[in-house]
């Protein structure tokens, strides 16, 4: 596999390098809710049988209400990554793609390795309206930069005039539903919204995401993925959790985010951006800080392409905030 990207979550590798039992590490390298809700009961038949249409349909209806996609029934997919992999097949081979950059690296890796010509653009205004496919992660990972919905819709309309698609990845948008374009897809056949289930709900192991797009696009994705693409347990758990009131989860995420923000501010670090699920620190010594925290068995996320950045995910509780604060205190005092 060419150009494989090192993502967060590599606690095993970090522990092999810096010592300690992986279970004792504090993993701040991902952008996951560290306080997932209790796992709903999963009926035996969900494990034993193939996931049937009625189960799938229940999940899609729950997702429609949760994401506010109106007439569109979101398509359940085995993680957003599974449809990122398919974007090259949606692309018009003769046209360039554009990615609002820097952002989540898998878009660039997948589109480029498929042979497409890809422009990394810094602003929406820099997008060539003749692009066949434009990707915007909103809010962005890892910068947290947020594009106003109106500006994205204008871009979608400009692209539509020339037959191009706009893909908006809202993986980190569950705490800010007012920024979502999910409700706008029904009237814009060239707009595709990706939603991630595992981040907000802290259940990344399930492998579940949703695509909100016009029926013909959803049918193409469904056709490429084939039947039974999503596991029964993922559908069952998601139906339950998407049907529950999201405010308690938003509240605890907000509390955890505030705790992280305080620790980073107290340490005098420069928080340059972030979302509800992570903070991005800019520091000329980011690589050394990463290593310093590893020695305290705390894993953060560094970026090959931006050596001054360090991304901090949320810690699960106040005690873990203090553990991070203690490790940062010895850094500040070095």
**Residues that bind its own copies in the complex, under the rule CB under 8 A:** 1-2, 4, 7, 9-13, 23, 27, 30, 32, 36, 39, 45-54, 78-79, 81-82, 84-85, 106, 110, 113, 198, 202-207, 219, 222-234
Nearer CB in complex with its own copies: 207/297:
207
How many angstroms separate the CA atoms of 18 and 131, rounded? 45
**Closest distance between its own copies and the C-beta of residue 133, in Å?**
17
Nearer CB in complex with its own copies: 46/328:
46
**Closest distance between its own copies and the C-beta of residue 321, in Å?**
18
Nearer CB in complex with its own copies: 10/149:
10
**Closest distance between its own copies and the C-beta of residue 35, in Å?**
10
**Closest distance between its own copies and the C-beta of residue 224, in Å?**
7
Contact 97, 132 (CB under 8 A): yes
**Closest distance between its own copies and the C-beta of residue 315, in Å?**
14
Match 């928080």 to its residue by tokens.
271
How many angstroms separate the CA atoms of 102 and 173, rounded? 18
Nearer CB in complex with its own copies: 26/328:
26
**Closest distance between its own copies and the C-beta of residue 46, in Å?**
5
Nearer CB in complex with its own copies: 230/324:
230
Nearer CB in complex with its own copies: 34/164:
34
How many angstroms separate the CA atoms of 252 and 82, rounded? 29
Nearer CB in complex with its own copies: 48/334:
48
**Closest distance between its own copies and the C-beta of residue 237, in Å?**
8
Q: Nearest to residue 165, comparing CAs of 121, 131, 122, 138?
A: 131
């Amino acid at each position: 596999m060419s150009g494989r990207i090192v993502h967060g979550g590599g606690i095993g590798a970090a522990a092999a390098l810096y010592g300690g039992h992986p279970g004792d590490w504090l993993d701040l390298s991902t952008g996951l809710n560290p306080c997932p809700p209790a796992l709903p009961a999963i009926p035996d038949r969900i494990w034993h049988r193939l996931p049937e249409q009625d189960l799938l349909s229940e999940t899609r209806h729950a997702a429609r209400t949760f994401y506010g996609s109106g007439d569109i029934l979101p398509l359940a997919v085995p993680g957003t990554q599974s449809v990122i992999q398919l974007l090259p097949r949606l692309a018009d081979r003769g046209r360039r793609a554009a990615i609002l950059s820097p952002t989540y690296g898998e878009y660039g890796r997948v589109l480029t390795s498929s042979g497409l010509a890809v422009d990394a653009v810094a602003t929406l205004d820099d997008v060539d309206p003749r692009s066949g496919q434009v990707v915007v992660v909103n809010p962005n990972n890892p910068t947290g930069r947020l594009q106003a919905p109106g500006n994205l819709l204008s871009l979608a309309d400009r692209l539509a005039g020339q037959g191009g698609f706009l893909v908006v990845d809202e993986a980190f948008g569950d705490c800010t539903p007012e920024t979502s374009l999910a409700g706008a897809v029904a009237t814009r056949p060239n707009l595709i919204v990706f939603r991630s289930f595992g981040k907000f709900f802290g259940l990344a192991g399930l492998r579940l995401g949703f695509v909100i797009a016009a029926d013909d696009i959803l049918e193409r994705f469904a056709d490429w993925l084939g039947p039974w693409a999503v596991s029964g347990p993922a559908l069952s758990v998601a139906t339950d959790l998407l049907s529950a009131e999201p405010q308690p989860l938003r509240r605890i995420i907000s509390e955890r985010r505030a705790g992280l923000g305080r620790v980073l501010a107290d340490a005098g670090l420069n928080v340059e951006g972030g979302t509800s699920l992570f903070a991005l620190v800019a520091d000329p010594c980011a690589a050394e800080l990463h290593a310093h925290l590893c020695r305290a068995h705390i894993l953060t996320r560094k970026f090959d392409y931006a050596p001054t950045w360090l991304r901090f995910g949320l810690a699960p509780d106040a005690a873990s905030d203090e553990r991070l604060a203690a490790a940062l205190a010895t850094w500040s005092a070095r």
